[in-house]
């Protein structure tokens, strides 16, 4: 069946359902009567099915979606606040970012000029590589991955099975204290990720 004819049949059906006249272009108008059921790609579509797609169904979905988005916004805001508190309360900590294992940033407090997307992607790759190395060397589950450079540390730890925390610390940080602070931060962040 030509596309124009299918569109016209759908417009006529919607016109009957809504009782409001639909605007149909001259090209699509036809004098054929709408059959009670239309077969489109082996799927029956009747007047009852089309009425289920009315605007009243759409509006009942949107409040649920808005509540879901609002809850997510609140959760991200709490994560952001928790990260900010962690970074600001530890003198040696210069930044932190929570990312998914896919490399997407959820919340971050990074130094100006740092690319959040690139940092998130590299961190996920680094942890994935660290876990593979741990398996190959028969070291068991990875507790943390540490990168030590002349200007400080980058420490990656798992928060949940699907999220990672990267902490950037200055070279003045003492590793034992830094690891303890990170462990405490993870304990406070993890409930917010569930």
pLDDT in tens, 46-83: 444 444 444 444 444 445 445 445 556 666 788 888 89
- Residue 158 backbone phi and psi in degrees, to 5: -80, 135
Q: Which residue ranges form the domains of the chain, and what is each CATH number?
A: 3-53 (no CATH), 72-193 (3.30.450.30)
Length of the chain as a residue count:
194
Quick count: other Cβ atoms within 10 Å of Cβ 28? 16
Give the pLDDT score at 40: 43
Task: List CB contacts of 21: < 8 A, sequence separation 6 or more.
Answer: 15
79 close to 192: Cβ distance less than 8 angstroms: yes
Nearest to 152 by CA among 122, 166, 180, 172: 172
Q: What is the pLDDT of residue 93?
A: 94
**According to the model, what pLDDT value does residue 141 have?**
85
Say what the pLDDT of residue 73 is: 62
Cβ distance 126 to 145 under 8 Å?
yes
Cβ neighbours for 71, distance < 8 A, ≥ 6 positions apart = none
């Amino acid at each position: 069946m030509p596309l124009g004819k299918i569109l016209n049949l759908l417009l006529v059906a919607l016109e009957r359902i809504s009782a409001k006249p639909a605007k149909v272009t001259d090209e699509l108008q036809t004098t054929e009567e709408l059959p009670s059921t239309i077969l489109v790609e082996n799927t029956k579509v009747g007047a009852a099915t089309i009425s289920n797609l009315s605007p009243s169904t759409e509006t009942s979905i949107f409040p649920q979606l808005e509540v879901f988005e609002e809850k997510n916004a609140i959760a991200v805001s709490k994560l952001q606040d928790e990260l900010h508190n962690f970074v600001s309360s530890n003198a040696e900590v210069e930044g932190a970012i929570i990312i998914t294992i896919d490399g997407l940033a959820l919340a971050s407090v990074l130094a100006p000029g740092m690319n959040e997307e690139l940092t998130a992607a590299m961190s996920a790759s680094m942890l994935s590589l660290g876990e593979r190395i741990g398996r190959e060397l028969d070291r068991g589950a990875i507790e943390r991955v540490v990168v030590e450079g002349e200007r400080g540390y980058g420490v990656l730890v798992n928060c949940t099975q699907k999220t990672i925390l990267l902490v950037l610390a200055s070279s003045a940080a003492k590793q034992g204290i830094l690891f303890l602070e990170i462990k405490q931060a993870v304990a406070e962040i993890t409930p917010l990720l569930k």
